[in-house]
Structure 1
Amino acid sequence: MLNLHHLDSFLMLQQTGSFTEAAARLGVGQSTVTQHIQRLEKSLGRQLVFRDTHQVRLTADGEALVGYARGMLDLNGQVLSLFGESRLRGRLRLGVSEDVVANRLTGILEDFIRLHPLVDLELTVALSAVLNQMQDAGDLDLVLAKRHVGDTHGKLLYREPLVWLARDPHFAPARDAVLPLIAFPPPSITRRVVQEALDREKFAWRVVCTCGSLSGLTAAARAGMGVMVQPRSMVPEGLREIAGDRLPRLEDVEFVLIPRRGADAVMVEALSSLIAARIVPQSI
């Protein structure tokens, strides 16, 4: 009989591609994840993972196991929710910042619905400032968003730098040229940080593309329309951090969780705890 803890470690390893990061997200030691994988391979009599100094990849047998492992853990979560004394049920309205959705949300949602299949999750994706406004109006129970360094609203998860990105990492604008900027529309926190930094250093700039979707901004940057800014751990594929000090240094941003007063405290805490355990990037 397969051990569900071993399967959980296996799926987290498949999701992160790193023993170190899988262990961090599960809240266990790296040696524990290694032992879980070894015991799972022994139970099945198959090698599931290729390991070398550069990367971790699943074997063909490992890839075949992924769907079955998810199914077993999903079924276990459903049984526990149906028959457990503290099962959660109801509706939870979650608001998430656009850039988080594109990078880390999938694994968190997979874990949450597996653990709490009777909770109906209503997801809203928007700019951080818009999410805060919606929550103030009573439309969201929990918000995962960015804030300026120095703000006190919300529970701090982590802080990280914003970086300049372009298709060409050696992009070097002339000091007297107008910088082509790709940005979220107002009231974007990132946009405000960028514009204040450029104005402070007397850089001329103009917004050549604005879009409320990160995928749209990324497409424009990949096409070479200009530069954009993202948290360092959330750099979209196909873009590179601009090297050196060719552009002004940007302030850090902080990622926070904000529960709504009056929301179901047990459901909010269940999701908040999962997010806090899984979302911090390995490099932070």
Structure 2
Amino acid sequence: MGYVDAHTHVWFKEALPNEFFSNDSGYEYTPPSIQDTLKEMDSVNIDYIVIIAYPSREIWRTKEDFPINMIKVVKEYANRFSIVGGIEPNKLSLSEAKGWLEKQYEAGVSGFKLHPVHSHVKPNAYREEEGGLKQLELLYEFAQDHNLPVIIHTGTSVFLNARNKYADPIFVDDVAVDFPRLKIVLAHMGRPNYVPTAFQLVRIRKNIFGEISSIPPKKLLEYLPRLEEISYKTIYGSDYGGPGIKGIAYNLKEFMSINISEEAKLKMASDNPKALYKPLE
């Protein structure tokens, strides 16, 4: 049985807008080739990777067509890639939000991502006391009705236009309560500031899953000493393409060497992500 890297930013040049290469994020990204990516995956028995192709006007200059373009680029290798899309609900009209969700779903996305820190929107901004953002409510309803997970970034971001006041996972608690059939993934487990909150939410909310991408595997048990307790609903990911991540293969090897049971590792790096995200084929 092969593994899954459930959180990558392996963005291929052909899918990126020209504006991406002149963004002012403070981070330079060199897109890999598809063939080199496949070779690296094969070297560590990764069946497929999840590519998070989310819109971020403020950081990356990407918009809602990004995941659709990514799907077109990798369609020849559909069984090796799973594409997650998303919308920026506070940057679209209600009709635009609905239209893009439908287009991405028809194209074959396996889920949606909300990046509160990059889009400058709280995860519970749909609630009346938080502003009543109907476009965000639509995102959650659409994902719930179509049995697609929503990944929500938690924890701080180093990029220049990021606003880290939106990083606290506690705002996701409202989402779990208001959309009980929605599968919610806490990307990065709130690292570094909010790990205890994220851990507790994964423990107490049946529809919230943990996800450990971007936490260096060698420090994982420092951040989450009780990781094995939640291994049955936690997902492995590398965050490769992000700052400081050395590679898909390198990160998986490091993760497989940590001091938890082999059963827990297999759940997090194979069983759990395969239950949530499907490859394009």
Q: Comparing both structures, which one devotes a greater share of its residues to strand?
A: 1
Judge same fold: TM > 0.5, yes or no: no
Bucket of the pairwise TM-score, normalised by the shorter protein: under 0.3
> Considering only CA atoms, is the larger Rg found in Structure 1 or Structure 2?
1
* TM-score of the superposed pair, with normalisation by structure 1: 0.25
Q: Comparing both structures, which one devotes a greater share of its residues to helix?
A: 2
* TM-score of the superposed pair, with normalisation by structure 2: 0.26
